[in-house]
Amino acid sequence: MDDVYGKREEKSLKLKNGLVQVYHGNGKGKSTAAFGLAFRAAGQGLMVCIIQFMKASVEESGEAKAVASTGNIDLYRFGRSFIEYPRPSSEEVAREVSEGLKFAEKAVTSGKYSLVILDEINVAIHLKVAEVEDVIRVVIAKNPEVEMVLTGRYPPVEIIDIADLVTEMKMVKHPFDRGVKARKGIDY
C-alpha cells in the first residue's frame, strides 16, 4: 500500500493562468463545488482564500470545520445573514460586505493566494448589499495567476460576461420539498 499522505511537497504551487469561474443556479451544490475545488487546490499545494458573504453561523458548518484541519486554506466571513436573530439591517450588512470586498481585493492582489473564492457574492449583489461594479473591480484587479470563483444564485449578466467558466446548478428534485430538514454532515 502506498502512503500518499506521508510525504507532502513543502513549496507552494503557483498558477500561470488564473481564470474566473461562476457557480450559480437554483440547485444545491454551488458552495459545495467551490469547497471541493478549494480542497483539490490545497491538496496540490496551492494557497486558498475563501471569503463567505452573508452565511449563517460558521461554527456549525461542516466545511468550516474541515477547513480548520487544513493548513493552506484560509476562511473569512463578512456580512451577517438575514436569517440571524436579531435580523441585521441592510445598511449593516452592506457595510460588512463592502469590508469583505476590500479584503477580497487585497487577497487577489497580495501574491499569497492562488485561488480566491467569493462564496454567495452573487446573492449579495441580488439583495443590493453589494454593487456589481465593486465586485467587477475586484475581479479586474486580480493577479493573472489567481483563479477566482464567485458563487450564489442570481448572478447579474455583467458577472456572467466577465467569467471564463460558468456552471449552473439546476434543481430537479429536492427532499426539502417533502419536509426533510437540513441534515448535519450532508447539508451543512
> Grid coordinates 441592510 are at which residue?
90
In a domain, residue 178? The reply is no
Tens digits of pLDDT across the chain (188 residues) = 433 333 444 456 778 899 999 999 999 999 999 999 999 999 999 999 999 999 866 566 788 888 888 889 999 999 987 666 677 889 999 999 999 999 999 999 999 999 999 999 999 999 999 999 999 999 999 999 999 999 999 999 999 999 999 999 998 888 888 888 877 777 76
In a domain, residue 127? The reply is yes
Beta bridge partners of 157: none
Total tally of structural domains belonging to the chain: 1
In a domain, residue 2? The reply is no
In a domain, residue 118? The reply is yes
Beta bridge partners of 39: none
Alpha carbon separation from 7 to 4, 10, 42, 43, 112 (Å, rounded) = 7, 9, 15, 12, 23
Residue 34 contacts residue 117 (beta carbons within 8 Å):
yes
In a domain, residue 26? The reply is yes
What is the value of pTM for the model shown?
Answer: 0.87
Residue 130 contacts residue 124 (beta carbons within 8 Å):
yes
In a domain, residue 1? The reply is no
**Residue-range definition of the domain harbouring residue 126:** 20-169
The CATH number that applies at residue 120 is: 3.40.50.300
In a domain, residue 25? The reply is yes
